Amino acid sequence: MPKTIVTSQSAPTTGFTEASKPAPIAQAVRFGNMLFVSGQGPLDPATRVFVDGDIEVQARQTLRNLLRVLDAGGATLANVVNMRVILRNVDDFPRFNEVFREFLEGEKVTRTCIGATPHRAGVNIEIDCVAMFD
């Protein structure tokens, strides 16, 4: 069974490289009934530059980017079974969690949220996920 590369033109692909270079990663890969979405951050899809703002602003942009990639792969949050979240500042967790709750609109997923340093200065959050299809 071959893997399928999924790309959304309305979400950024970076691999945290210079904007002039091609990304070394796929936005998502579908393999069988699973969709693996690469870590999304608070990047403007057109410029690949992070949106400046507090954790709520960056979380909303990150989740919008994630939803766009899911959509390109034929999935919604209803298909997501697991998410991993990296927060630069763990003190941001309560405010991030409110934005997360708002976006999930009652959907339930498993999630791990850790404090770590995302690779690009100014990026305060990164989220990846796994979605399943019947």
Extents of the domains making up the chain:
4-16+23-132
What global pTM score does this model have?
0.93
- What is the model's pLDDT at position 16? 60
3-state secondary structure of 43: strand
pLDDT per 10-residue tile (average), the chain, 134 residues: 93 71 87 96 88 96 97 97 97 98 96 90 93 95
Would you state the pLDDT for residue 76?
A: 97
User: Regarding beta strands 110-115 and 125-132, do their DSSP bridges make them parallel or antiparallel, or are they unpaired?
Assistant: unpaired
| Cα dihedral 67, 108, 37, 122 in deg (nearest 10) | 70
The matching CATH number, chosen from 3.40.50.1220, 3.60.110.10, 3.30.1330.40, 3.20.20.140, for 4-16+23-132 is 3.30.1330.40
Predicted local distance difference test score (pLDDT) of residue 21:
73
Cα dihedral 1, 15, 68, 70 sign: positive
